[in-house]
Structure 1
Amino acid sequence: MKYSLIIVLTIFLIGNIHAQDYYFPNANASWEQRAPKDFKIKDALLQEAIAFAEDNEYSGSRDLRIAIVKGFEREPFHKILGPTKKRGGPAGMILKNGYVVAQWGDTKRVDMTFSVTKSFLSTMAGLAEDQGLIEDTKNLVGDYVWDGTFDGAHNSKITWEHLLQQSSAWSGELWGGKDWADRPPSKGNIDDWKMEMPKEPGTVMEYNDVRVNVLAYSLTQVWRKPMPLVLKENIMDNIGASTTWRWYGYDNAWTEIDGLQMKSVTGGGHSGAGMFISTQDMARFGLLFLNNGRWENKQLISEEWIKKATTPSIPNSNYGYMWWLNKKGTRHWEGLSENIYYAAGFGGNFIVIDKENDLVVVTRWLEPNKIEAFMKKVNAAL
């Protein structure tokens, strides 16, 4: 009995030492750096990875209005509806146990981050569940948002989980965006796509920003606050983020709640808007998730939520609650941990969480199809 108690205490202490081993940068302070060799990381191979990221810059225009219009030219009615910003060059940070072991480019520059925004939006749903505003993600959204957005035989079946896993097949129009016009198939007749009956909710994942924006609108109704304010008060201020990040909606995306006009944000930037943020603030957000939702000694987002958010969905094993998962499937990175999960956005913006190696990797404006090769080079340096 005595020896069993010693073993249990030893395991407990080792686990807690590891959990407290992360470094958390203070607000407005220089981020502490460590040499790669301090963690037995091969510096030469790490530099190869950085050079690879710098040499494989996203090929689209640095004028993101041009890149957006070109990237989504097949979409009928597509136009810029919200703010955009010319981007900088490749940039990134690699954190080991919270310390910076590598960085490149201008890490303080604020740039659009496109669908990385979706992982921030997902976190707003997690906070709502943690705080009891949403009882469970399997609840029907129409029980919370009863203004007609989820009326009808089809839309009334949609749950929060369907919206978070992009399997809702929500049908309708929001802020001038029609669900059927978002990302039509590359082959076939668009008129056939338009007239196709919506899929049964929960059965097929369809990457669709109109439906993501329906989630943002619904969460605004539940919180009765603008999403940027919820994010600032609950997450960004607590992790010491800068004051430079912004979260925009479309120019016309106003709704009235409790007699107040509020802007409903977007979950991406393919018509403009979304999250505008620096590499350093993205890295702070990643470090929060690496540490299971805790920042130093304060639990900001529950471990239970992170587990739900990173559980493969039935329609797509590589997708959870707006986080991409490195599970076996069409987006699997061969030879890398299947526990890796990441946020990804247009133009090659990524926040990668590698819990097994205590890593956060942020890379920006990397040619999107090069991310697997880049992560393999980072992994080779470990």
Structure 2
Amino acid sequence: MQDDLQQAVQFAVDHESLWDRHVDGAWGVHVNDPPPWNRLLGPVHDRGPASGTIAVDGRVLAAWGEPDRADLTFSVAKMYLALLAGVAHDRGLLPDVDEPVRVRVPGIGFDDARNAAVTWAQLLQQTSEWQGTYFGLSDQADHYRAVNFAAPPDGRKGDPRPLQRPGSYWEYNDVRINQLSLALLHLFRQPLPEVFREAIMRPAGASENWQWVGYDHAWVEIDGRRMQSVPGGTHWGGGMSVSANDQLKVAQMLLDEGAVAGRQILSREWIARMRTPCEIARFYGYLIWLNTDRKIFPSVPASSYFGVGAGSSFTWIEPERRMTVVVRWLNPAAADELFGRILHAVDALHAA
């Protein structure tokens, strides 16, 4: 019933993120890092209120807060990097994700003995164990990283961890994701925000009211053009600022298996790969969170999958219900209950 939907929306409003709305307060991920990594390297901005939107078959059922406000979405940007890898795959730039990265983009940190075996698929699944620095930022910064939806690590954040064979160990590591972004930049030889705009956002019907920026010093020159490498989140600043309504357009494209208004903008094959569980971390696909065996969010179906960002931001795709949901600035402790409430409300509307 409509009352159930309103109550779900009120629940989201009542369980707003504990982060301050202003960046000079208790705000961000970097504040929990040990020195020297506990500082911003790129621009950030104040956040808006708890916001979001719920749609079924592309029809918006509810919206709250400021769904048109472009807000930092943190690691939901990882999902966007996975979409860009799909664009590269569909264009023939990345025909084999199991090929070592160094084959197509030599000279950017994958050529030494430690990293020579690292593949694109391992980077996309966060199993690469890549070792090095991304514009001076060491992968060690995210060793023993704790995340809400995975088992706790057995070490202290930022301490050096004995590295395993690439592909044999899962770790949520923002530096390695940023290194993937740098590799994609060299693969496209074009700034990733430009590729994302022309290949994904405009075809999906999104507005132009978004931006994806990098760290202040993260610039390279390719083919005589100076380009900024963008991160897969906002851990150390920068990242993707985008509205809930624009994120909903991307979610709808994923729900429709890469099609928008009858036009295939991303292959079904790639989206299927994104949703395939990693063998050693079955809750994870290609930079998206999977609800395999309903372990992450017990209140919603196993078919659901998510882009998740600190703060917290969620993009939720639920294929069985033809439902897309974007939630911004939610206390993550309330996520499962909120999603269960939304699911119940949508089912009640359908049954009415």
For Structure 1 versus Structure 2, the TM-score category normalised by the shorter chain is over 0.9
Match of 2:68 in 1: 108
Match of 1:159 in 2: 119
Contact 2:145–2:171, Cα closer than 8 Å, also in 1: no
**2:291 pairs with one of 315, 318, 326:** 326
Q: SS in structure 1 opposite 2:75?
A: helix
Q: SS in structure 2 opposite 1:181?
A: helix
Q: Structure 1 unaligned runs (5+)?
A: 1-41
Match of 2:131 in 1: 171
The 1:171/1:100 distance shift into structure 2, 3 A limit, reads same
Q: SS in structure 2 opposite 1:285?
A: helix
**2:323 pairs with one of 359, 378, 382:** 359
CA distance in 2, matches of 1:249, 1:157: 27
Match of 1:75 in 2: 34
CA distance in 2, matches of 1:62, 1:96: 30
Aligned residue runs from structure 1 range 86-101, under 5 A: 86-101=46-61
Matched, 1:233 2:192: no
CA distance in 2, matches of 1:183, 1:199: 12
Match of 1:37 in 2: none
What do the CA deviations read for 1:54-97 (whole angstroms, capped 9, x no partner)?
00000111123544456642333121011101001011000011
Q: SS in structure 2 opposite 1:121?
A: helix
Amino acid at match of 1:226: P
Contact 1:72–1:270, Cα closer than 8 Å, also in 2: no
What do the CA deviations read for 1:309-362 (whole angstroms, capped 9, x no partner)?
010001211100001001127x42224211100100001101100010010000
What CA RMSD, in Å, does the superposition of the two structures yield over aligned residues?
1.6
Matched, 1:349 2:319: no
Amino acid at match of 1:83: P
Contact 2:273–2:286, Cα closer than 8 Å, also in 1: yes
CA distance in 1, matches of 2:3, 2:134: 50
CA distance in 1, matches of 2:112, 2:286: 25
CA distance in 2, matches of 1:304, 1:66: 44
Contact 2:219–2:227, Cα closer than 8 Å, also in 1: yes
The 1:256/1:373 distance shift into structure 2, 3 A limit, reads same
Contact 2:33–2:141, Cα closer than 8 Å, also in 1: no
Match of 2:151 in 1: none
Contact 2:143–2:157, Cα closer than 8 Å, also in 1: no
Q: SS in structure 1 opposite 2:162?
A: coil
Match of 1:58 in 2: 17
Amino acid at match of 2:243: S
**1:380 pairs with one of 338, 341, 344:** 344
What do the CA deviations read for 1:24-78 (whole angstroms, capped 9, x no partner)?
xxxxxxxxxxxxxxxxxx1111111101000000011112354445664233312
The 1:158/1:66 distance shift into structure 2, 3 A limit, reads farther
Match of 2:150 in 1: none
Match of 2:177 in 1: 212
Amino acid at match of 2:298: E
Q: Structure 2 unaligned runs (5+)?
A: 147-153, 348-352
Contact 2:30–2:236, Cα closer than 8 Å, also in 1: no
Flag the structure with larger Rg: 1
What do the CA deviations read for 1:139-189 (whole angstroms, capped 9, x no partner)?
110101110510222200100000000111110111121101225457756
Aligned residue runs from structure 1 range 201-280, under 5 A: 201-280=166-245
Q: SS in structure 1 opposite 2:53?
A: strand
Matched, 1:150 2:115: no
Contact 1:65–1:84, Cα closer than 8 Å, also in 2: no
The 1:43/1:131 distance shift into structure 2, 3 A limit, reads same
Return the TM-score normalized by structure 1.
0.85
CA distance in 1, matches of 2:138, 2:130: 10
Contact 1:167–1:204, Cα closer than 8 Å, also in 2: yes
Q: SS in structure 2 opposite 1:247?
A: strand
Q: SS in structure 1 opposite 2:293?
A: coil
Contact 1:113–1:349, Cα closer than 8 Å, also in 2: yes
Q: SS in structure 2 opposite 1:200?
A: coil
Q: SS in structure 2 opposite 1:155?
A: coil
Return the TM-score normalized by structure 2.
0.92
**What is the aligned length?**
338
CA distance in 1, matches of 2:26, 2:239: 15
Match of 1:43 in 2: 2
Contact 2:255–2:317, Cα closer than 8 Å, also in 1: yes
Contact 2:71–2:242, Cα closer than 8 Å, also in 1: yes
Q: SS in structure 2 opposite 1:328?
A: helix
Farther off after superposition, 331-340 or 94-103: 331-340
CA distance in 2, matches of 1:233, 1:335: 36
CA distance in 2, matches of 1:356, 1:90: 26
CA distance in 2, matches of 1:154, 1:73: 29
The 1:189/1:308 distance shift into structure 2, 3 A limit, reads closer
CA distance in 2, matches of 1:128, 1:75: 36
Match of 2:92 in 1: 132
Q: SS in structure 1 opposite 2:204?
A: coil
Identity among equivalent positions (%) equals 38
